[in-house]
Amino acid sequence: MTKEELRHFFVAEGDKAFRGNQVYEWLWNKGAHTFEDMTNVSKETRQMLQQNFVINHIKVDQMQKSSDGTIKNAVRLHDGLIVESVLIPTATRTTACVSSQVGCSLDCKFCATARLKRMRNLNPDEIFDQVVAIDKQSKLYFDRPLSNIVFMGMGEPLMNYNNVLKAIEKITSPEGLGMSPKRITVSTSGVPKMIKKMADDEVKFKLAVSLHSAIDEVRTSIMPFNETFPLNDLRDALQYWYAKTKHTITYEYVVWEGINDTKKDVEALIQFCRFAPSKVNLIEYNPIDDGQFKQANAQAIDMYKSMLEKHHITVTIRRSRGKDIDAACGQLANKS
Ligand code: SF4
């Protein structure tokens, strides 16, 4: 319920409207999981709430810690389904990687989540609760609050756009967690129509696109939905995004042996980067069980880096974290 709806509910019950504000604050600011937690609300009111409402909070069923400090959570939802979320600590920041769907609507060949298929979308509160849980872990284990959020867990966030947006509203609102939208990145495999919608909605968070190839045939072979949303459409949408938001785009990119490790692949990427101001994250690949995809060798990565830099494109090589507990990029598949 929105705050207004809660206020109306209390007035209709013959109580004061501000009671709605109190309950709202408990839910969205203090992360209460039961009505009993709402200690500034009278016992009678708490009982009445208990009779009328349910808080479908998430439960961290299992927590695994990596040798590099990364924490992976198996998060049980109210209907028994499970998603995973990850806390990634570095020297300067703590990042929450959250899920937006149970399974995924898409079918990227290199991704463990794709094998689960989409079971349902997460509700806004289920996304929000993952952030609250990781913020608590960050304070408990690293003595600092969560600093960044990436929507890079299970699911394609733009296929659950409305709920992702509602969750981000709660995360960024001063009445919620008050986090800056600049510290939030929504990572998509590239759904052109939805990228344009985000631009029209004037969202303030950052955009990352899992590109992995700027050649249609190659991209379609590893991300089959590229056939429906080819690179030309993606390019148009990204140009539209930049024209409206003036926000630089990050391309997430894995280099695989025998798939996209040639000079021709880098040249296509350089060409694609010219369409809108962008930077490239070269991400280390984490094999999933079948071993079909293999990280390219160091020479191929160096070639990407030097060719991109020669064309004045910012490039960062990202080491994956949490590999030993299957918490790294592309490995989330409810194995724990
Ligand atoms: S990489 Fe992302 S979009 Fe592709 S299948 Fe995996 S979770 Fe879905």
Q: What is the pTM of this model?
A: 0.90
Q: How far away, in angstroms, is 253 Cα from ligand 1 center?
A: 13
Q: Active-site residue 36, yes or no? A: no
pLDDT digits (tens), the chain, 336 positions: 888 999 999 999 999 999 999 999 998 888 888 999 999 999 999 999 999 898 888 999 888 998 888 999 999 999 999 999 999 999 899 999 999 999 998 989 988 888 887 889 999 999 999 999 999 999 999 999 999 999 999 999 999 999 999 999 999 998 888 999 999 999 999 999 999 999 999 999 999 999 999 999 999 999 999 999 999 999 999 999 999 999 999 999 999 999 999 999 999 999 999 999 999 999 988 777 667 889 899 999 999 999 999 999 999 998 767 767 666 556 666 655
The DSSP bridge pattern shows strands 249-253 and 206-210 to be parallel
- Contact, 157 vs 100, CB < 8 A? yes
Nearest to 122, CA basis, from 95, 136, 103, 97: 103
Distance CA 203, CA 206 (A): 8
Which of the following is catalytic: 84, 126, 156, 252?
84
**CA distances to 23, 204, 276 from 192, in Å:** 39, 18, 14
pLDDT at 335: 59
Q: How far is the CA of 23 from the centre of ligand 1 (A)?
A: 36
Nearest by Cα to 209 from 249, 265, 245, 150? 249
All residues at 6 or more sequence positions from 291 whose CB lies less than 8 Å from its CB, including other chains: none
217-229 in b/e burial notation, b at 16+ Cβ within 10 A? ebbbebbebbeeb
User: Which residues' Cβ are closer than 6 Å to ligand 1?
Assistant: 104, 106, 108, 111, 113-114, 154-156, 189, 210
Interatomic CA distance for residues 253 and 280, integer angstroms: 7
- C-alpha span between 183 and 188 (Å, rounded): 16
Q: Tokens standing for 291?
A: 């071993």
Q: In ligand 1, which atom is closest to the CA atom of 210?
A: 1
Q: CB of 249 within 8 A of CB of 207?
A: yes
